[in-house]
Structure 1
Amino acid sequence: MQVEFEFELPKGFLDADGNVHRKGIMRLSRAIDEIVPLRDPRVRANPAYASVIILSRVMIKLGALDEVTPAVIEGLFACDLDYLQKFYRSINELESTMDESIPISA
């Protein structure tokens, strides 16, 4: 079973040094990846923030970055965030259940 999937962002993450990071790897999500964000105070204040935390948990590589943190996800261009949300739903086969239980925003 394939559990890791390569992707390439449309624009890429621009780091503080001016480097652009476009290629990455996302792993399949586990139940805990969607449960843990519900405990986060940022999600309690703004439920849409769950997608930021979930993506930072399942992205195991983005360019040359050592770690993909919520701050990295926050710094993405809107088109890249949209791309990653769709990619997440696609690899986890969540297209038909999106409205029922998955906090990743549409």
Structure 2
Amino acid sequence: MGLNTEYPFTLPKGFVDDEGTLHRQGVMRLATARDEIEPLRDNRVKDNEAYATVIVLARVVTELGTVRVNTATIEKMFASDYRYLQDFYRVINFGDPSILESMEPGSPFPEEAATVG
């Protein structure tokens, strides 16, 4: 059995693209050290440290419906979906991804699972 490096997710609300299409299904891959280091060189992060999270999520979310994911995509997400992706990132990278099997798609993470790491 190999290491699972990609995890499907379902956003609680969903991303609405410019044509009005709702996208809720996506895939996030495990982060690499480079994913967390590279954003620190970005001028947007130098101006606002919180922007690093936007850049990291844009790097590790590999699919979101038919949308090409980039920082603008992450910026336009509803706050609840942005928070969901932050929690999802923490669970798959620093927590126990097996909890994902017991959750309803798009449901909020248990508080103890979301705060690991």
The answer, yes or no, to whether TM exceeds 0.5 is yes
Measured in 1, the distance between the counterparts of 2:53 and 2:94 equals 16
Cross-structure match for 1:30:
32
Unaligned runs of 5+ in 2: 96-114
Paired residues, number = 96
Cross-structure match for 1:72:
73
Measured in 2, the distance between the counterparts of 1:96 and 1:88 equals 10
Moved over 4 A (4+): none
Show CA shifts across 1:25-74 (max 9, x none). Answer: 00000000000000000000000000000000000000111x21000000
Measured in 1, the distance between the counterparts of 2:90 and 2:47 equals 24
From the CA coordinates, give the structure whose radius of gyration is larger: 2
Measured in 2, the distance between the counterparts of 1:86 and 1:29 equals 13
Q: Which of 12, 15, 18 is the matching residue for 1:13? A: 15
Could you say what the CA RMSD is over the residues aligned between the two structures, in angstroms?
1.0
Give, in angstroms, the shift of residue 96 of structure 1. Answer: 4.1
